[in-house]
C-alpha cells in the first residue's frame, strides 16, 4: 500500500475546473469520451483541456464500448493519456489499444473481483465502481465489504465518493487511488472548486490517519 493515495478527478469540461483540480492536488484528470454521458467532451476538446496539464498530472481518457476508429483518433490526439475502459470491453480489446489502461469493474454481490483482475492482468489498475444502469457517473456507492484483501492489481476506488465519505472509503479499502466525479460538482459536468479542495484535503486526512495507526 502506498503511503499516499492518488487522486483522480473525472468528467471535467471547463478550463477553470482543470486548473482548480490541479491546484487542489489532483494526480489525474479524467475526460469522458462517451457521447451518452452528460459529462462528455469531444476528442478535440479533451486534447485542448489536456494541454493545460503540468508535468506529472496525467490525463485519463474514458471510453465505453468505443469503436476502433474512435479509440485510434483519441490515442493520436491524447498521446500522454492513460486509457480507462468503462464498458464491456474484452481483455483482448483493452490490450489491443497498445497503451496503459485502467479497467472498470462494476461491483455487486456475487461479482468475483479476483477473477476479473486475473483476466485483466495487463491492466495498470482496476477501477471499482457501483453496478448501476448505464456506465458510471451515477453518484452511487457500493458496499466496500465486497472488496477482497490483496487484489492482484492496483485498486482505484470510485462510486459515489464525496468529501464526506472519502475518508471512510480510503481507510476501509486502502486503495492505490480514488476517483471522484459527481461528488465534487455543482451540476453535471461542472466542478465546484471548493468541493474539489475539500475532497483532496479529506484524502490527505485519511492518509494521515492510516499513518498514525501504522505507527
Give 9-45 pLDDT, tens digit per residue.
Answer: 999 999 999 999 999 999 999 999 999 999 999 999 9
Has residue 2 got a pLDDT over 60?
Answer: no
| CATH assignment of the domain containing 164 | 3.20.20.70
The pLDDT of residue 133 is: 58
In a domain, 178, yes or no: yes
Rg of the chain's alpha carbons, rounded to an integer? 16
pLDDT-based confidence at residue 138 (cuts at 50, 70, 90)? low
> Which residues lie across from 139 on neighbouring strands?
none
> Distance (Å, rounded) from C-alpha 46 to C-alpha 68?
18
User: Residue 181 and residue 166: Cα distance in Å, rounded?
Assistant: 12
Q: What percent of the chain has pLDDT over 70?
A: 95
Residue 119 lies in a domain: yes
* Active-site option among 10, 24, 94, 200: 10
In the structure grid, which three cell numbers stand for residue 89, read together?
A: 470491453
137 pLDDT more than 80: no
Percent of the chain with pLDDT over 90: 89
**Tell me: the pLDDT tens digits for 42-82?**
999 999 999 999 999 999 999 999 999 999 999 999 999 99
10 in catalytic set: yes
What confidence score (pLDDT) does residue 140 get?
79
What's the rounded Cα separation, in Å, for the pair 59 and 9? 10
Look at the chain and report how many structural domains it folds into: 1
Give yes or no: 35 in active site.
no
Interval 72-98 mean pLDDT: 96
Beta bridge partners of 130: 107
pLDDT at residue 136 is higher than 60: no
pLDDT of 134 over the 80 cut:
no
Q: How far apart are CA 8 and CA 113, in angstroms?
A: 21
3-class DSSP state of 1: coil
Question: CA–CA separation, 156 vs 175, rounded Å?
Answer: 6
CA angle 34, 121, 35 (to 5 degrees): 0
Split at pLDDT 50, 70, 90, the class of 214 is confident
Average predicted confidence (pLDDT) for the chain: 94
Confirm if 46 and 39 have CB atoms less than 8 A apart: no
Phi then psi for residue 173, to 5 deg, are -90, -30
Answer whether residue 128 is part of any domain: yes
The residue range of the domain holding 204 is 6-214
Residue 1 falls within a domain, yes or no?
no
**Across 173-182, average pLDDT:** 96
CA 73 – CA 95 distance, rounded (Å): 17
CA distance 6 to 2: 9
- Residue 4, φ and ψ in degrees, nearest 5: -130, 120
Q: Does position 95 have pLDDT exceeding 70, yes or no?
A: yes
Exactly one of 17, 27, 94, 129 is catalytic; name it: 129
pLDDT at 187: 93
Instruction: Note whether residue 11 is domain-resident.
Output: yes
186, containing H or E segment: strand 185-187
Amino acid at each position: 500500500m502506498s503511503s499516499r493515495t492518488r487522486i483522480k478527478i473525472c468528467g471535467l469540461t471547463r478550463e477553470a475546473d482543470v486548473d482548480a483540480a490541479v491546484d487542489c492536488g489532483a494526480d489525474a484528470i479524467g475526460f469522458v469520451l462517451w457521447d451518452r454521458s452528460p459529462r462528455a467532451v469531444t476528442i478535440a476538446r479533451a486534447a485542448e483541456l489536456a494541454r493545460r496539464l503540468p508535468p506529472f498530472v496525467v490525463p485519463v481518457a474514458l471510453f465505453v464500448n468505443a469503436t476502433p476508429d474512435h479509440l485510434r483518433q483519441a490515442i493520436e490526439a491524447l498521446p500522454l493519456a492513460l486509457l480507462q475502459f468503462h464498458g464491456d470491453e474484452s481483455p483482448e480489446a483493452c490490450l489491443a489499444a497498445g497503451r496503459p489502461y485502467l479497467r472498470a469493474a462494476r461491483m455487486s454481490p456475487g461479482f468475483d473481483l479476483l477473477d476479473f483482475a486475473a483476466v485483466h492482468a495487463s491492466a495498470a489498475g482496476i477501477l471499482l465502481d457501483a453496478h448501476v444502469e448505464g456506465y458510471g457517473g451515477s453518484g452511487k456507492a457500493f458496499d466496500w465489504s465486497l472488496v477482497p484483501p490483496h487484489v492482484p492489481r492496483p485498486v482505484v476506488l470510485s462510486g459515489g465518493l464525496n468529501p464526506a465519505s472519502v475518508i471512510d472509503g480510503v481507510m476501509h479499502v486502502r486503495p492505490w487511488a480514488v476517483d471522484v466525479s459527481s461528488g465534487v460538482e455543482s451540476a453535471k459536468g461542472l466542478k465546484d472548486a471548493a468541493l474539489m479542495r475539500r475532497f483532496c484535503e479529506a484524502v490527505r486526512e485519511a492518509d494521515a490517519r492510516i499513518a498514525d495507526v501504522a505507527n
